[in-house]
């Protein structure tokens, strides 16, 4: 199990390693997979508002879901640098919903089970998740409790050897597609200490979903979840200890937010590449738009900001894999990268003029998909509050 608290021993002669040769080989492999088996079908999947379940099987077969997990469970790690490479390359696929659906499975649901599950839970849910045989989701957010996790109301009442769960969740990625859901529920009193995580199989009586119609991430199966007397074994309590849920959620927020920053930087770079290519082809007043000083300078500014954001994110990643909490650095990286991804998409839509507002060009999807970054995984405002608190400003 690796949750960011254990240091990774760097290779001799390089006390601050980041990506090594094996990581770049992995990057090339993932990019070939994306270019061949994902990118050509994005438009079709966007129309369907779905992508094939077989894509999970394929990622499992290629080992992409096992990068953070031990070999004894079918993984190849834990190597969070390899996982970072997967996150970056996946974000370049051209559809935020595909990246979100696969990411929510491996970076959220699977990671919670992998980091906190009992041996029995690891065998039941993690091993087949790594193979891509089952799909997972994490359910924390509620209609009245988003960033304020301690205020959630979904309750799990102990009844003998079972828990009976009642309540609702919303904005859950993979919610209407998952085979199992890691649910944050109140097993005790008010506040942080009363929260536990319980795994619920999607076939359990009383569990139902309603898929939501999202602006972006169209293929991601974002949904409301409903628990009406859902009865599950007490053995589904993640880690086997009541009241550990809030600590578990906070422990995994580090990687979740790092993954969002990594993905945002990669997506922004991809969007900028496409924007520059369009500007080089589109002519106005007898010359390509890219020749106008205003756009040359805008593109240069955006390239500078992406480079700065990537450096900030890699700094946070380096500290994370070396076992440091890096809470402040991760909050800075997440807020800056996600806001920048949206900014880049907006600027690149502008360079398209009226065509940017047409569904014909992928830039409109980058614009819609990027808007969720400053909201999900902890809003930009929450990230600023974290930094302010650490800096003694609150």
Q: What is the CATH number of the domain that holds 216?
A: 2.40.110.10
Of 204, 228, 245, which one is at a domain's C-terminal end? 245
Judge whether 38 and 55 are in contact, CB under 8 Å: yes
In a domain, 233, yes or no: yes
Distance CA 392, CA 33 (A): 46
In a domain, 6, yes or no: no
Q: Which of 166, 157, 163 is nearest to 188 (CA)?
A: 157
In a domain, 143, yes or no: yes
Distance CA 181, CA 203 (A): 11
Q: How many domains, the chain?
A: 3
Distance CA 235, CA 267 (A): 40
Q: What is the CATH number of the domain that holds 108?
A: 1.10.540.10
Is 256 considered catalytic here?
yes
Active-site annotation holder among 256, 305, 329, 339: 256
Whether 57 and 100 map to the same domain: the answer is yes
Whether 257 and 367 map to the same domain: the answer is yes
Q: Which residues of 100-119 are buried (b: 16+ CB within 10 A; e: fewer)?
A: bbbbbbbbbbbbbbbbbbee
In a domain, 8, yes or no: no
Judge whether 166 and 209 are in contact, CB under 8 Å: no
Per-residue confidence in pLDDT tens, the chain, 394 aa: 445 555 555 444 444 558 999 999 999 999 999 999 999 999 999 999 999 999 999 999 999 999 999 999 999 988 999 999 999 999 999 999 999 999 999 999 999 999 999 999 999 999 999 999 999 999 999 988 767 777 899 999 999 999 999 999 999 999 999 999 999 999 998 888 899 999 999 999 999 999 999 999 999 999 999 999 999 999 999 999 999 999 999 999 999 999 999 999 999 999 999 999 999 999 989 999 999 999 999 999 999 999 999 999 999 999 999 888 899 999 999 999 999 999 999 999 999 999 999 999 999 999 999 999 999 999 999 999 999 999 999 6
Distance CA 55, CA 50 (A): 11
Whether 320 and 240 map to the same domain: the answer is no
Q: Which domain holds residue 306?
A: 253-390
Whether 194 and 107 map to the same domain: the answer is no
State the angle between helix axes of 245-281 and 293-321 in degrees (0 to 180), rounded to the nearest 10.
150
Q: Which of 74, 230, 245 is nearest to 167 (CA)?
A: 230
Whether 266 and 370 map to the same domain: the answer is yes
Going through 109-206 in order, the beta strands assigned E by DSSP cover: 136-139, 155-159, 162-172, 180-186, 195-201
Of 108, 135, 162, which one is at a domain's C-terminal end? 135
CA angle 191, 227, 152 (to 5 degrees): 15
Name the maximum alpha-carbon separation found in the chain.
78
pTM for this prediction:
0.92
Whether 115 and 26 map to the same domain: the answer is yes
Say whether 100 sits in a helix, a strand or coil: helix
Of 109, 135, 161, which one is at a domain's C-terminal end? 135
Whether 124 and 173 map to the same domain: the answer is no
Q: What is the CATH number of the domain that holds 328?
A: 1.20.140.10
Q: What's the DSSP call for residue 11?
A: P
Please state whether the peptide bond connecting residue 321 to the residue before it is cis, i.e. omega within 30 degrees of 0.
Answer: no
Whether 273 and 383 map to the same domain: the answer is yes
Dihedral-angle region of residue 63 (phi above 0 means left; psi in -120 to 50 means alpha; beta otherwise):
left
In a domain, 39, yes or no: yes
Whether 145 and 205 map to the same domain: the answer is yes
Whether 219 and 150 map to the same domain: the answer is yes
In a domain, 332, yes or no: yes
Q: Which of 360, 366, 376, 374 is nearest to 96 (CA)?
A: 366
């Amino acid at each position: 199990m690796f949750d960011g608290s254990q240091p990774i021993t760097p290779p001799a002669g390089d006390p601050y390693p980041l990506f090594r040769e094996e990581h770049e080989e992995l990057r090339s492999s993932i990019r070939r997979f994306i270019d061949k088996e994902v990118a050509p079908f994005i438009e079709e999947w966007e129309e369907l508002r779905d992508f094939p379940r077989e894509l999970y099987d394929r990622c499992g077969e290629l080992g992409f879901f096992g990068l953070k997990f031990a070999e004894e469970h079918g993984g190849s790690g834990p190597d969070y640098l390899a996982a970072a490479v997967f996150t970056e390359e996946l974000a370049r696929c051209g559809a935020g919903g595909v990246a979100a659906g696969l990411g929510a499975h491996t970076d959220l649901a699977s990671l919670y089970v992998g980091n906190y599950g009992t041996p029995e839970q690891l065998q039941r849910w993690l091993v087949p998740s790594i193979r891509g045989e089952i799909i997972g989701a994490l359910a924390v957010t509620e209609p009245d409790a988003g960033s304020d996790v301690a205020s959630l109301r979904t309750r799990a009442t102990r009844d003998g050897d079972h828990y009976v769960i009642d309540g609702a969740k919303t904005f859950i990625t993979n919610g209407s597609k998952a085979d199992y859901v890691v649910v944050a529920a109140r097993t005790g009193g008010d506040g942080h200490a009363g929260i536990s995580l319980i795994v619920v199989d999607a076939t359990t009586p009383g569990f139902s979903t309603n898929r939501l119609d999202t602006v972006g991430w169209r293929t991601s199966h974002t949904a409301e979840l409903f628990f009406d007397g859902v009865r599950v074994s007490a053995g589904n309590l993640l880690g086997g200890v009541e009241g550990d849920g809030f600590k578990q959620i906070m422990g995994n927020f580090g990687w979740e937010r790092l993954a969002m920053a990594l993905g945002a930087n990669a997506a922004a770079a991809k969007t900028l590449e496409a924007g520059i290519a369009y500007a080089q082809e589109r002519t106005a007043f007898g010359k390509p738009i890219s020749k106008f000083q205003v756009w040359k300078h805008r593109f240069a500014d955006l390239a500078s900001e992406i480079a700065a954001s990537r450096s900030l994110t890699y700094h946070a990643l380096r500290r994370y894999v070396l076992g440091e909490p890096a809470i402040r650095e991760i909050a800075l990286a997440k807020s800056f990268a996600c806001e920048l991804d949206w900014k880049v998409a907006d600027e690149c839509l502008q360079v398209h003029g009226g065509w940017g507002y047409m569904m014909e060009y992928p830039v409109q999807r980058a614009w819609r998909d990027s808007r969720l970054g400053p909201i999900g995984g902890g809003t930009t405002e929450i990230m600023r509050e974290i930094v302010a608190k650490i800096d003694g400003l609150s």
